[in-house]
A and B are shown apart, each in its own frame.
Chain A
């Protein structure tokens, strides 16, 4: 009993440790701000600000090293709810959300709010529909749960392969974002930065699995929050005199609207917007007034995007993989609520960032009677986030001729406000921290599932390698594959941000709903739900608007919205037509739905350990000398 009690107890000094870490990070920022005034070079400042925290993450991961299976896969089931919520939020938002969402809000304004709403609603939906039941099942992976629920190794392997595309897409996108940040501020080529990021996240996950992911992820969350909040609050004070950007940016919406009208940005219906609904990576001009409702996308598009992200985030494997890390069911539910709170805080703050940047841009243009470009745009051009073309040939700068890169908007905030360089690199450090947290989490989800659900399913006696060592092999292989992929291919962050949840929503959401909420679901129902969800998603994605019920915009999101119900209906039909569920499947379902008692997987492991101990005790003792 003693080891079990120790296992479930969280470290009582966690608050002190992370308090010290937060103070150390703030001190680093303050010291570098002073060094900047003393004349330190920008490259030295960027080096210290970006790599100092990365060294910290690696040190935390090393301190949390483990070879114990329960620690490696579920962090010993003793993570306090707030910390798990923090890591959930860091993984849900990630580096792509940090840069692409704030950038999308700059271009879409009101219409981009669907993304933040979808993230928050998705996390809450996962907490209501899946997380407590996955915690009760206690399996180390989501495919592992499906395999146990339907007593099938084949289903487990199929589910693992089905969760591969969305997770791999997010992994590659997060690595790319982190590498771009490093290549932007450090004297590194993009390829070298990709290799460095892949090495860092592999090291973090390699030495401690979910345990080191959790504790380094908590640190990355703190760095993300501080790095995002400090420049935003400073700019809020400069522009509105109050340090509460979420409440005060309303004050600048009216002058922003006036500046937009002066610059020729008039409200127009979505069909008159020149570009695709979601802004692409390349620099482009802002064409839509910030506060105009449904100017870049219709209300229907808004709903489609919201629902796609809601069902997708609810079934996102990297988030569900954290369903077994807290000490109890109640803690697990509470941790999801904390995660939703943290995501909502970011979702409510990002519009302030976008509004401030847009306000400063348009105000500078409106007040610039000489027709020259604001100086800070030239600085932004140094990062390749800005392009200008005198399209009308009048020799002056118009708003329609200024093209900004979506992913550079977050970094443009401190630059536009003429804050010290440290603030720009602080913002970059925040995005890097979140990108590393998310990338490491996606990497671990992929690698642990491939090792545990595919390879181990084919080798149940672990004849090849011990369980943790098998994950080491798949971790290295997955990180290497992602790096090689990025050497040849490009991924747009916002496309990944929508496509990955869309895939998860179409493929995994229906199967999980049926497995957890319907006793009558059978293995055939689960397989049909996944395969037909995937098939429908692919068909709608390929044929898009040419289908009779097709949709010209947001084809990926729309494909998820069609795929999910088709998957659900196929699952129900296959379960009703095929053989009835076995007594073992029904018994497992009842156990999972019962909130009392320990995790089923832990109970089974205890039984196996007790049986092995009893067998060893009853075995005849070898005679001396034998």
Chain B
């Protein structure tokens, strides 16, 4: 086994174990973990199999196979990052909508409470006169 294969496999195992631990401790949702697990498995497989990596490097006309591995890792990180940014955008959107709904509902509650308080004072005043 080459040193590259060893390093690649170690990295893959660390990512898989780390991600699984974070899922277990509920710091990471399965939905977001999937992309990292797939990435780690692909990295491990390519690092371990010189033949497969060589074939892919050939296909991409990259003379030095480990460069192909780097390219794939960079591409994967790009995808993971975009996934992250999309998630942040969606959360920002929902956060704003929630803030708006909260503001509207609170104002409505305040109106209802004010009306009720007004009703109560006129009631008690009516009772006082009788």
Real binding pair: no
Contacts from A to B (Cβ < 8 Å) = none
Contacts from B to A (Cβ < 8 Å) = none
